[in-house]
Chains A and B, each alone.
Chain A
């Protein structure tokens, strides 16, 4: 019995020893909405993200008011109550896991295709999502990239009725994080 306990403790400490956290405080997230009438895009350079190379745990958080647009008027609309309502919901985020983290060799240069499963929360609405992306290892530096679509109405991003033709149903989101090892 003692031996099993000892083994268990040993295994746990091994896992801790190998677990590496990759952190960024200034990742990039942008989105793009395309319709025949108008293209809309905005970007945000203050993504906070943590990737655990041992467990595959992955999360990111974004401040809604950090999204900047070319047009101030658009930025104001984006933040108002009928869209992101950023006074009430200042933050959005994702929490999940890279399901095939064991296929990524963090000590070897390469571009590794990964699948991330987890929950995306926008405006306090949480939905499960699965996203394909990649983890790049280049001379020891680790970065992650993904492009995915968000069906805006799933998260109550509605907008006034008269602008519906100008806003795509599917919003394309691009995320790019360059990590520092912790």
Chain B
């Protein structure tokens, strides 16, 4: 009788463990739409990274960022995703935003708000897995 209880308990633990492992393995992708983004302008986030990258990393790296800026250029990357470069005070580089789904037509010179996940600073501030807010 006691043995049976132990076996049952063991069985429950194993099933729970397997279910948890299965859940972890199939964990859904992070969706920026479910998160409150840090609101900032393209100029300000670029400035933050170019003046003090280490500090900017603690503030923005891996966070949901809701960035507003002027569209400088729109292009497609090799994966077919839409990429928008937002204008900053730097003549060459800015904020590099990759959309996870097609945002439709975006005109150069228009102002948009984009929400995505900041993955760091190269020549541009990189924000990807994003969506259009407005």
Q: List 25 A-B contacts (CB under 8 A).
A: A25-B93, A25-B96, A25-B122, A26-B77, A43-B79, A45-B77, A45-B79, A45-B81, A45-B83, A45-B128, A46-B77, A46-B98, A61-B123, A62-B122, A63-B119, A63-B122, A65-B119, A65-B120, A71-B25, A87-B62, A90-B61, A90-B119, A90-B120, A91-B122, A182-B92
Q: A25-B96, A45-B79, A87-B61 are in contact. Are A61 and B122 (CB under 8 A)?
A: yes
Q: Which residues of A from 70 to 99 have beta carbons under 8 Å from B?
A: 71-73, 76, 87, 90-91
Q: Is the CB of A25 within 8 A of B25?
A: no
Q: Is the CB of B78 within 8 A of A28?
A: yes
Main secondary structure of the interface of A (DSSP, over half): strand
Q: How far is the CB of B43 from chain A (nearest CB, A)?
A: 17
Q: Which residues of B from 55 to 75 have beta carbons under 8 Å from A?
A: 57, 61-62, 75
Candidate in A45, A61, A64 with the most chain B CB atoms within 10 angstroms: A45
From B25, B30, B119, give the contact of A66 (CB < 8 A): B119
Interface string of B19-48 (1 = CB under 8 A from A): 000001111111000000000000000000
Q: Is the CB of A45 within 8 A of B78?
A: yes
- Give the docked Cα–Cα distance between A26 and B82 (Å): 11
Q: Is B114 an interface residue (CB 8 A)?
A: no
Q: Is A48 an interface residue (CB 8 A)?
A: yes
Q: Is B131 an interface residue (CB 8 A)?
A: no
Q: Is the CB of B126 within 8 A of A73?
A: no
Interface string of A30-66 (1 = CB under 8 A from B): 0000000000000101101000000000000111111
Chain B: interface size category: 20 to 34
Q: Is the CB of B122 within 8 A of A45?
A: no
Q: Which residues of A from 156 to 182 have beta carbons under 8 Å from B?
A: 176, 178, 182
From A26, A28, A66, give the contact of B120 (CB < 8 A): A66
Q: How far is the CB of B83 from chain A (nearest CB, A)?
A: 5
- Give the docked Cα–Cα distance between A91 and B61 (Å): 11
Q: Is the CB of B123 within 8 A of A46?
A: no
Q: Is the CB of B126 within 8 A of A63?
A: yes
Nearest chain-A residue to B24 (Cβ)?
Answer: A73
Q: Is the CB of B98 within 8 A of A72?
A: no
